[in-house]
Copies of this chain bind each other. A is one copy, B any other.
Amino acid sequence: MAEFKFRMRMTVGDVIAVGPGKIALLEALAETGSITAAAKSLGMSYRRAWLLIDELNSALREPAVSTAQGGAKGGGSKLTPQGEQLVALYREIEARALAHCEEPIDQLLRMLR
């Protein structure tokens, strides 16, 4: 079944500061409350998830993820208000783009076998 998708990126020079992978990771983190569980749910290593979040936090004025320290099992991680805003804006752009492009998207899909 054919599917059309918008995938948005923000780049700073050669670095992809924000893209669909990082947004999916933030959403998984919001759902699971830990980087370990979020990484697992996306089939990603903990190390890769941690690096993506670190890269994202460095690219933003305010970090998207905060990690509580301490306790026997560590404190878990969660989205900051800025992280929540980032995800919301990304998904809003995706939804608006889809809503305003229904007709040419249909035409494009009809060109496929």
Q: Give chain A's interface residues, CB within 8 Å of chain B.
A: 1-13, 17-18, 58-62, 82, 85-86, 89-90, 92-93, 96-97, 99-101, 104-105, 107-109, 111-113
Inter-subunit contact A8/B11 (CB<8 Å): no
Closest 6 CB pairs of A and B: A97-B97, A100-B100, A7-B7, A93-B101, A89-B108, A89-B104
How long is the Cα–Cα vector from A18 to B7 in the complex, in angstroms? 13
Q: A112 and B9: CB pair below 8 A?
A: no
* Seed contacts A4-B8, A58-B113, A93-B105; 16 additional CB < 8 Å A-B pairs: A1-B12, A4-B10, A5-B10, A6-B7, A7-B7, A7-B8, A10-B109, A10-B112, A12-B113, A18-B108, A60-B112, A60-B113, A85-B111, A93-B101, A96-B101, A100-B100
